[in-house]
Amino acid sequence: MRNEEDLNEAIERLKDFLDQEKEMRQERIEEIKRLIAEGKYDVPVEELVEKILKKLKERP
């Protein structure tokens, strides 16, 4: 039983970690959107498209 409890605890910690990562990414996205709207962040469109396509290809 102890192994199952340890496993469940590890799963919960991993879920918490993933939730924190998701929240940090969302905050970063919002910050970038704000900077773009203010004209303080300039990324070439081609670079953005390449990164998006790469991410989409990596997904299962």
Residue 33 has pLDDT above 80, yes or no: yes
Query: Rg (Cα) of the chain, in Å, rounded?
Result: 18
* HEC readout, the chain: CHHHHHHHHHHHHHHHHHHHHHHHHHHHHHHHHHHHHCCCCCCCHHHHHHHHHHHHHHCC
**Residue 8: predicted pLDDT:** 93
| Measured distance CA(10)–CA(15) in Å, rounded | 9
Which pLDDT band, with edges at 50, 70 and 90, does 44 fall under?
confident
pTM: 0.59
Confidence of residue 36 (pLDDT cuts 50, 70, 90): confident
Q: How many domains does the chain have?
A: 1
Question: What is the number of other CB atoms lying within 10 angstroms of the CB of residue 35?
Answer: 13
Which pLDDT tens digit goes with each residue over 9-20? 999 999 999 999
Average pLDDT in the 46-58 region? 87
